Amino acid sequence: MIDTLHSALPRALRLTLLFAAELVLVMLAFQLFASLECRATSVEGACRALRGVGLRGVSLLVLLAVYFWAVRAAWQEFLRLAAARSGGTRWVALHVAGLMLIILPMALVPDHALNPLFHRILPLMVLGGGMAALGGLFWLAGPRDWQQWLRPRLVPVLALVLLAALLPNLAEAIGPIWYWETLTQITFAGVALMLALVADVPVVDPAAQIIGTNGFLVAVADSCSGVEGFVLVSAFLALYAVLFRDRLRLTRFWLCVWPVALLLSWLFNVIRITLLIMIGAYASPDLAVNGFHSFAGWLFFMLLAMAVLLVVDRIAWLRRVPGRDAPAVPLAEDALAARILPFVLFMVAGVLAQSFWADPILAYPWQALIMALSLWCFRVPLRAYLCRPSALALGAGVLVGLLWVKSAPSSYSPNTDALQSLSQAGLILWIAARCLGTTLLVPVIEELFFRSYLQARLTQGLTGPLGRPLAVLLAIAVSVGCFALLHDRWLMAAVAGVIFAALYHRRGRLADAVAAHMVANLIIAIAAASTGDWALI
């Protein structure tokens, strides 16, 4: 049986599966069976960072699987690369030695001494992880072979590495946005219902959100609501939509597949919590508690996302063009991607600012740089939108800008505490980035997404079943509602959104909506700079 499997699977796939299994087993061993508690060590930050490395590694493997799925030429070249020759036995030895350095502490250090001695064990584990990763990489293929394979596809691979590195941080940062009491209550009710079906005497306290059976009780907190699963599933669906954009009916994909995937993610989370309660009640309380705080949930959410994508790939109703060939249009020249991806990067930049800066307002120059680079990457398809805006659009922009400034509440005090920490040169740089980003970059990115993509797509998709007038009204309402949710002053933002949407609908020219948005933001930026009230923007 082993010989048959060995001959059936390509060498690259066999080794990749081996590395994935090693990574998962090491993660689960330390999280479920070792008494390591980062809070009890003297290097808590480093301990948590090390624990996150495994999760990011698994995320990268799954993201690469989706990439190979879409770009078949890259996968075939990868198979040929690994089948031709390996890097040599010295890399195998390096990989095995690295694994030994990782697992030896758990085997040799007593449980009670693991936390006090972890600051001494940590360097060995970091060294072992580096050796195992480097040895495994060059066990697959030699350095020159990797260089040849990466040269034509360096940008997408680096983008996937960056996404894998940031995915846990994104889930943590976005989580509070999706935490709301109703979701936690629904999750609690789902667990209670499922526990009633499998447990003899379930204990349920809805007021305190405590649930359990047989003496094992847990509190269903906001972090148990399933938000992390939502983030993971959404991230993989988004990557799939980008890579398969020429073959998917994207409106059907997002309106039908995404809600179903989120529902399955929530249901899976309910089942996970129920199983952990049963394990704690009838098998091992310690194992169950560790399970609640382990990355096992992440692993299963990734598997769920892949299962959803496998099903989607087989549904002809969601496909626009039959076949599995790679997209004919390069990503940087794709008009649809130009309307969506700059907005995605704009949102990601905001999340990163909230995650890595104590005062997120100070991160704006970096956010502006990300926005500028995203628009520069799509400069080819964006040229189609260049035209002279109408006088009506410019006048509408003046009206929106004045209304925004005049309607600002008096309590809208300037946030200058963080800015006062900047040097004079730093403050000048920040003001320049803020004004240029607000006036030139944000209007283009937001109008590309909300008007040229969301409003236009909804109008096109709803015209058939609803008729043109109702489709237009509904498309404007949805795009304006989403636009308003991005702003603290949502009512005034909705008024501005209606004006921009009407300008776009009037002649079907995005330049009118962008010009009005730019003029409005220019007036607001001038008012903010003259008063120092940057909260206006």
Q: CB atoms < 10 A from the CB of 162, how many?
A: 12
Structure-model confidence comparison of residues 295 and 315, the more confident one: 315
Asked if pLDDT for residue 401 goes beyond 90, the answer is: yes
Distance CA(331)–CA(335), nearest Å, equals 9
Burial class of residue 178, CB neighbours in 10 A (0-12, 13-18, 19+): middle
pLDDT band at 356 (very low <50, low <70, confident <90, very high): low
* Apex 343 CA angle, 337 and 347, nearest 5: 140
Q: Where are the domains of the chain?
A: 1-153, 179-328, 342-536
Structure-model confidence comparison of residues 537 and 512, the more confident one: 512
pLDDT digits (tens, 9 = 90+) for 44-69: 888 877 877 877 888 888 889 888 98
Structure-model confidence comparison of residues 112 and 481, the more confident one: 481
Distance CA(178)–CA(209), nearest Å, equals 19
* Least trusted range by pLDDT, from 175-184, 297-306, 498-507: 175-184
Q: What's 216's DSSP letter?
A: E
pLDDT digits (tens, 9 = 90+) for 495-530: 999 999 999 999 889 999 999 999 999 999 999 888
Round the average pLDDT of the chain to a whole number and report it.
82
Nearest to 239 by CA among 38, 361, 63: 63
For 282-310, give the DSSP string.
Answer: HT-HHHHHHHHTSSHHHHHHHHHHHHHHH
Structure tokens, 42: 């003297």
Q: CB atoms < 10 A from the CB of 341, how many?
A: 21
Q: What's 288's DSSP letter?
A: H
pLDDT digits (tens, 9 = 90+) for 466-497: 888 888 999 899 899 889 888 888 899 999 99
Q: Among 43-52, 197-206, 352-361, 399-408, which range has the highest average pLDDT?
A: 399-408
Structure-model confidence comparison of residues 375 and 419, the more confident one: 375
Q: CB atoms < 10 A from the CB of 384, how many?
A: 10
Asked if pLDDT for residue 144 goes beyond 50, the answer is: yes
pLDDT band at 292 (very low <50, low <70, confident <90, very high): low
Residue pair 19/39 in contact by the 8 Å Cβ criterion: no
Confidence at residue 291, expressed as pLDDT on a 0 to 100 scale: 60
Structure-model confidence comparison of residues 108 and 175, the more confident one: 108
- Averaged over 324-345, what is the pLDDT? 75
Q: CB atoms < 10 A from the CB of 527, how many?
A: 18
Percent of the chain scoring above 70 in pLDDT? 87
Q: Amino acid letter at 370?
A: I
Q: Among 222-226, 282-286, 457-461, 492-496, which range has the highest average pLDDT?
A: 492-496
pLDDT digits (tens, 9 = 90+) for 3-55: 444 444 688 888 888 888 888 788 777 766 677 777 788 888 888 778 778 77
Asked if pLDDT for residue 295 goes beyond 70, the answer is: no
Distance CA(64)–CA(323), nearest Å, equals 21
Structure tokens, 446: 């937001």
C-alpha pair distances (Å), 133 with each of 22, 94, 102, 300, 365: 11, 9, 12, 23, 35
Structure-model confidence comparison of residues 493 and 172, the more confident one: 493
